[in-house]
Amino acid sequence: MRHQIPVLNKALRVLEAITGGAQNLSVADLARLLKLSPSTCYRILQTLIAADWVRPKSAGVGYELSLGLLPLVQPFLGHQAVIEALTPAMNRLVDRTGLSAKLTARQGSEAVTLLRVDAFEPMTVTGRVGVRFHLALGSSGSCLLAQIDDEQVERLLAGAPREVWKWQSRRDVAARVRQCRSVGYCVDRGQYHPAIHTLSVPWHEPRTDASYAVTLMEFARPGRRATIQRHRAELLRTVQDVQRSVTRDGQNNPARKAS
């Protein structure tokens, strides 16, 4: 909690609760759920209502998100077509491999998770949309680094926080970037976290000039190299299929391409 503003953290918790399904709660119930005082919860809600981020529900008790949030999410709407195109393909990829998958995009020095599909397995790597991590971490970060020039890569790595080097060195990151540029994919065998192995391929979306990484994730197990080759083929196939689909969509819908 160092260097953070406690009341702002409380306001974010209120927003997350409303977004996450607590729309039908009164102020008292929401305060009880979040372990806040009713007066604090009330003032937070009134502040959010004044900013048009939240509004009382038109029917019944509770609150819902309001249109005042739209300017904040506008920069991310350009990713929506990519998410829509990838969602069914990633579902098929997860079904074929039995592994969880995610789509990440670069934002500054960080990778941001835009889409996740978790495998229905007893032991699987899970997570959530919106997670951010430094580009020095993982195969997905290396795929995103591989799509920018070396000067930018060096600058980003030089400014990376100390914790990203807990299980890896800059040479490890450079090796993953070279692998991605050379063969079109890269593997992280526990350098982000020793318990997790990941396999990523890059994808550049020409209509929006945005760079992405599509990743498969699994818990580390011995003797998985042959399986990685099969998963690599499935991952490359998925990205190629989506790329063809997006290209056809752009050709068949000039207005959407122009937008």
- Distance CA(197)–CA(216), nearest Å, equals 9
- Distance CA(174)–CA(156), nearest Å, equals 12
**Average pLDDT value for residue range 142-150:** 96
φ, ψ of residue 9 in degrees (nearest 5): -60, -40
**Has residue 236 got a pLDDT over 60?**
yes
- Contacts with 234 (C-beta within 8 Å, 6 or more apart), sequence order: 93, 96, 97, 216
Q: Residue 80 has what pLDDT?
A: 81
Q: Three-state DSSP class for 115?
A: strand
What 63-72 contacts at long range (C-beta under 8 Å, 24+ apart), as own/partner pairs, is 63/18, 63/23, 63/25, 63/30, 64/18, 64/23, 65/15, 65/18, 65/19
Q: Residue 259 has what pLDDT?
A: 42
- Distance CA(9)–CA(2), nearest Å, equals 12
- pLDDT tens for residues 44-88? 999 999 999 999 988 888 899 998 988 887 766 778 878 888 899
Q: Residue 248 has what pLDDT?
A: 67
**C-alpha closest to that of 130 among 92, 70, 73, 54:** 73
- Distance CA(92)–CA(69), nearest Å, equals 33
**Has residue 243 got a pLDDT over 60?**
yes
- pLDDT tens for residues 169-228? 999 999 999 999 999 999 998 898 888 899 999 988 776 778 899 999 988 776 655 577
**Has residue 158 got a pLDDT over 50?**
yes
Q: pTM for the whole thing?
A: 0.69
**CATH class name, domain 6-65:** mainly alpha
Q: Domains of the chain: which residue ranges?
A: 6-65, 75-258
- Distance CA(246)–CA(257), nearest Å, equals 10
**Average pLDDT value for residue range 231-241:** 87
Q: Residue 52 has what pLDDT?
A: 94
For domain 75-258, the question of CATH label 3.30.450.40 is answered with yes
Q: Residue 136 has what pLDDT?
A: 96
Looking at residue 137, the DSSP 8-state letter turns out to be S
Q: Residue 256 has what pLDDT?
A: 46
Average pLDDT over the chain reads 86
**Has residue 254 got a pLDDT over 80?**
no
- pLDDT tens for residues 88-139? 999 999 999 989 999 999 988 999 999 999 888 766 677 788 889 999 999 9
- pLDDT tens for residues 15-35? 999 888 777 889 999 999 999
Q: Residue 75 has what pLDDT?
A: 65
115-128: b or e for each residue (b if 16 or more CB lie within 10 Å)? bbbbbeeeeebeee
